[in-house]
Amino acid sequence: MSKRIAFLTASEGVEEVELTEPWKAATDAGHTAELLSLDEGEVQLFQHLDKSKTQRVDRRVSDVSIGDYDALVLPGGVANPDALRGDETAVAFVRDFVDSGKPVAAICHAPWTLVEADRVKGKRLASWPSLQTDIRNAGGEWADEEVVVDGNLITSRNPDDIPAFNKALLDALS
């Protein structure tokens, strides 16, 4: 059965492969992917610190509800989750999505948004290593593993972990 997956990003600073590879895995598996962002228009993707392509925003996060989707993917990039965690609407959407029990997959720096949403306490997560103190300070347990599944949270460290991240996401949708 096809599921609807929300990919939530800020308007820039998104690590390209952390959006495009999970997107491709989801759509190749027959699911529908939709890009949500803070604003209409396009999202600027990056390959590390270099601008790459853009991707059209399907809907603003302020115009959707949790019930519209079966899963949420939070791509990384340093600037992307930093901008998301500064937006009250985006943080509330992430908080409510985690609370819904539906799968929430966050890679690299994206767990910053989970920290801001106050949803890592008592949870085990992987992330880019520089987030480990933030995760621990928020009451979570940081793990240096390619993918960690704890309840409905799926987390990974970096782009090298995308195959395991995608597999865990697709397993959660089946």
pLDDT above 90 for 19: yes
37: Cα separation from own chain's centroid = 12
Task: Report the pLDDT value the prediction gives residue 131, as an integer from 0 to 100.
Answer: 97
**Model confidence band, residue 1 (pLDDT cutoffs 50, 70, 90):** confident
Instruction: Work out the average pLDDT over 101-105.
Output: 98
pLDDT in tens, 48-91: 999 999 999 999 999 999 999 999 999 999 999 999 999 999 99
Task: Report the pLDDT value the prediction gives residue 108, as an integer from 0 to 100.
Answer: 97
Task: Report the pLDDT value the prediction gives residue 81, as an integer from 0 to 100.
Answer: 96
Instruction: Work out the average pLDDT over 8-23.
Output: 97
pTM value surpassing 0.85: yes
Nearest to 51 by CA among 60, 59, 42, 40: 42
Type of residue numbered 65: S
| Active-site annotation, residues | 108-109
**Model confidence band, residue 28 (pLDDT cutoffs 50, 70, 90):** very high
**Model confidence band, residue 29 (pLDDT cutoffs 50, 70, 90):** very high
**Model confidence band, residue 159 (pLDDT cutoffs 50, 70, 90):** very high
- Residue 71: give its domain's CATH number: 3.40.50.880
Query: What range does the domain containing 92 cover?
Result: 4-173
What is the Cα–Cα distance from 164 to 139, expressed in whole angstroms? 25
Structural domain total, the chain = 1
